[in-house]
A and B are shown apart, each in its own frame.
Chain A
Amino acid sequence: MDHKAEIHAYVAEILEQKDDKDPFTDSSSLLNTGRIDSMDVVDIFLFLEKKFGVRIDSGRFKKSQVDTVDAIAALVSTNLPANS
């Protein structure tokens, strides 16, 4: 499974826990539409750290970077450790 597919599956898990069964694509807005909230973003960060060893730079973090699966995948790509 590539990064995006794994992130998509994890986001789907979060939405399922919230009883949100509406479908979503990789470009669907999640944060701005209220389907996930800032505390879900924390869970996503913990997941990214554990799964991909990614550390998000606190000075560079913006809401738009976690609004869609595409944006999260881009965030992972730019923050991947050098040896991965």
Chain B
Amino acid sequence: MSSEATILARLPESVRVERLKSFRLIPRIETYPAVVSLAQTVAGKLGLLTCFALLLWQAGSSVGLVLPCLAAATFFPKKRHLVVMLATIGFTLAAFLMAGPGAYPTLVCVAIVFVLGSLLIWLATREQRNFVGRHALLVLFGTFTGLILLGCYLPARGQSTASLWMFTGVLGSYVWFIGYALLDNETKPARELGLEIGSLRPFWGSTATPFPSGSACLRQIEAKDAEALAVTQLKGLKLLAWATVLSLTEGGYNWFFHDYLRIPHFEKALYLHSVHTPVPWHLCWASLILFYFHKLFTISIWGHQVIACCRMAGFAALRNTYRPLSSTSVAEFFNRYYFYYKELLVYFFFFPTFLRLPARLGKLRVSVGIFMAACVGNTYYHFTREIGYIEEHGLGQSIVTFQVFFFYTVVLAVAIAISRRRNRPDESLGFFRCTLRPAILVSMFYCLLSIFSTTDRNYPLSEHLRFLGHLFFLD
């Protein structure tokens, strides 16, 4: 045993636990005054950008596009909003120009969405007397939903219908971004156009879910001085380094379990089970558990890379995924797993429901709000995201084949509502009963639920339920 290990073994248990808790694989460099000072110098900034670029390159990101934007935001922090706006517009244009002339009609749709979105934001901030201004969010989502219905029920299937679907698809990819801009500006006029436009699918990346939650959030979390910028960027670098560690770990994990041990991927296990090819129950369990961890790895790595770029641009955004395995309740896991998506559901579905219900309903309002967010909102978000499928198969078929995901949202909503009503375990019960056991149970719940958390539409709900039954010898 080394001398350090001997000293550690002699320490009281509480001290050892504290030391273990504070252990960091990647040191907290943003707390070292010398490093923070260095990161404020030209040499330090260049060093930071170089390290960041190397990690980005290792991750396979387009360094050539991202790095100039990050460098501009680093060396001209007072022009940050302008940089973000130009980078966002530049990235959007570059994506379409690289795709070739076939993508130009989509680019026209993007331009129309930008113009109409800006008009709606302007109406919401300046024209509170007219209906559109007062109910801008309702108008936005009403129009979006109306366009989908129109596309489904238009009798003619010609060029005009194809254009309508194209526009609806583009609007769908921006709708939550414009929604946040409306939420943020309902009471105050838009002050900084650069940040407003820059927050519409910003250059650091996102899905249909804004990362972070809109321009108002960006305004509040941006680094206000040189020291804050240095700390934020060091945190960004650390996060990207952590994403790299996770990425390498995932590579080894995939090789060991799927290539070396030949445990089938979950999709394959589900397929084999659906065609009545016997798959031993223990292999089904193994593929499901690996699938669950694979999802954790994927969302963590991707989210960390996006937030790391956002931090490098000078915005102290919170991590998208933060220690989900330490969650001791279903609600806590949902919060820690995909933070910005949960925020979207909360601000667009939970609060509007919760705040409108009468106070006499007490805590029932919370349960109803959770159902509206985790079930109705979750379903709406995912259903309307797949415009191509709806266009091809029609509304009826799209709804029927969405049964698996809908089942998932119902179970999730009920579980979160129950979890919110339960008290946290008493700390006096000890580490195992207070922390470890609840964390394992929560992970088991989400692991089993991941059988249904798919929008693939490959199998009916009965097949997924049959797979679940097989895990417990119920087939």
Q: Residues of A at under 8 Å CB distance from B?
A: 17, 29, 32-34, 37-39, 42, 45-46, 49, 55-64, 67
Contact present for A49 and B359 (CB under 8 Å): yes
Can you sample 28 A-B contacts with CB below 8 Å? Answer: A29-B220, A32-B318, A33-B316, A37-B335, A38-B346, A39-B331, A39-B335, A39-B346, A42-B350, A42-B354, A42-B369, A45-B355, A46-B363, A55-B359, A56-B355, A57-B355, A58-B351, A58-B352, A58-B355, A59-B186, A61-B351, A62-B184, A62-B186, A62-B216, A63-B213, A63-B216, A63-B347, A64-B216
Q: Which residue of A lies closest to B345 (CB)?
A: A38
Q: Which residue of A lies closest to B219 (CB)?
A: A64
B217 in the interface (beta carbon within 8 A):
yes
Q: Which residue of A lies closest to B416 (CB)?
A: A39
Query: Mostly helix, strand, loop or mixed at chain A's interface?
Result: loop
State A33–B212 Cα separation when bound (angstroms): 12
Contact present for A42 and B347 (CB under 8 Å): no
Q: Which B residues are CB-close (under 8 A) to A60?
A: 186-187
Q: Which A residues are CB-close (under 8 A) to B363?
A: 46
Q: Which B residues are CB-close (under 8 A) to A38?
A: 342-343, 346-347, 350-351
4 closest Cβ pairs, A-B complex: A58-B355, A38-B346, A34-B318, A58-B356
Contact present for A63 and B217 (CB under 8 Å): yes
Contact present for A32 and B342 (CB under 8 Å): no
Query: Mostly helix, strand, loop or mixed at chain B's interface?
Result: helix
B387 in the interface (beta carbon within 8 A):
no
Q: Name B124-172 residues within 8 Å CB distance of A.
A: none
B366 in the interface (beta carbon within 8 A):
yes
Q: Which residue of A lies closest to B134 (CB)?
A: A59
B464 in the interface (beta carbon within 8 A):
no
Minimum Cβ distance to chain A for residue B376 (Å): 16
Q: Which A residues are CB-close (under 8 A) to B86?
A: none
Q: Which residue of B lies closest to A19 (CB)?
A: B427
B421 in the interface (beta carbon within 8 A):
no
B226 in the interface (beta carbon within 8 A):
no
State A60–B355 Cα separation when bound (angstroms): 10
State A35–B369 Cα separation when bound (angstroms): 22
Q: Which A residues are CB-close (under 8 A) to B354?
A: 42, 45
B424 in the interface (beta carbon within 8 A):
yes
Q: Specify which of A42, A45, A46, A61 lies most central, judged by the most chain B CB atoms within 10 Å of its CB.
A: A42
State A56–B183 Cα separation when bound (angstroms): 15
B420 in the interface (beta carbon within 8 A):
yes
Q: Which B residues are CB-close (under 8 A) to A17?
A: 424
Q: Which A residues are CB-close (under 8 A) to B331?
A: 39
Minimum Cβ distance to chain A for residue B217 (Å): 7
State A45–B359 Cα separation when bound (angstroms): 11
Q: Which A residues are CB-close (under 8 A) to B184?
A: 62
B221 in the interface (beta carbon within 8 A):
yes
State A62–B342 Cα separation when bound (angstroms): 16
State A37–B339 Cα separation when bound (angstroms): 10
Extra inter-chain contacts (8) besides given A32-B217, A32-B221, CB under 8 Å: A33-B316, A38-B342, A38-B343, A42-B350, A42-B366, A58-B355, A61-B355, A64-B216
